[in-house]
A and B are shown apart, each in its own frame.
Chain A
Amino acid sequence: MYHTLVALVEDKPGVLNRVASLFRRRAFNIESLTVGHTDKDGISRMTIVVNSDATGVERLTAYLYKLVNVIQVHDLTPLSTVSRDLAMIKVSTQPENRPHIMQVVDVFRARVVDVTNHSLIVEVTGDEEKIEGLVEVLKPYGIIEMVRTGIVAMARGASPVPPLNYNGNGHIPAGQAEPPTTG
């Protein structure tokens, strides 16, 4: 099944390569990977979607922790989360079908961010299904090109997600067994 992992990593050159290389080296397929800054200086956050079973994710967590630049790893999969993907879709349009497309865009609560006589760019944010839904509906009009950011995710609720600390006996949440500390 798909697991959504979040890794807090040091913001240093080559860290993305180390993480990506680890997945390749250990024969895990990355479905999606995004990376960006956090509110803390020097720490980036990666959201990685990987297709694996629970044992595989435990191994992966342990391997991620072996990377010196990886500070914390979370598995958001069992939690209630908000996950978002952003897509821009350039659709081919004719004067006569443009209103239809605009209607569809409205239904999906997407936005048009660029218009020409023969095309428009739709920007849509949402979870994967929503974006795939919109893509399906737009396909018949002719998609000229499309780009997606990949999933970013966050657990619901007031507190940050407890880090996984793989100790060989399954996942142990923070506070119960010396979790790695931030900063």
Chain B
Amino acid sequence: MTPGAGRRGGDAFAQAFEAQRPRLVRVAYATAGSVAEVEDCV
């Protein structure tokens, strides 16, 4: 793997994580006890 490919791989991971971030935040709110967020998670 060339350094360039590695960077693209890292970007892909970062993009995948960014796409999941709202879900993670929703889960965090739901875990803390916000019923409105639980309903969004289910």
Say whether A associates with B.
no
